[in-house]
Amino acid sequence: MILIGNAETFTGSRKGGQLWQNLIGLLKKGGYVFSGLPVHCERHPSRKELLTKPESFDELVPDGGCLEDWYVVIYSYSF
């Protein structure tokens, strides 16, 4: 589940505010609250980015990948 919004707005609501406070508190405690959308590259799993604005998709993860070069190694054996 991905929630996008302002935590203060959720926790400060008259209806359900206490429920949101409990949930967001648990998420923060577990390290699951971010100031953007965390992503990683399938080809370079150690490469991680935090997307904070719509333009970040094109700037940091073009075509769903990353900015690092990648290559394919082809081995040829003769017997």
What pLDDT score does 63 carry? 75
Task: Give the whole-angstrom CA distance, residue 64 versus residue 58.
Answer: 9
Give which of 45, 52, 5, 51 is closest to 27, Cα–Cα: 5
What pLDDT score does 70 carry? 60
How do the domains of the chain map onto residue ranges? 1-33, 35-79
Q: Chunked in runs of 10, what are the mean pLDDT values of the chain (79 residues)?
A: 86 93 95 88 82 88 73 61
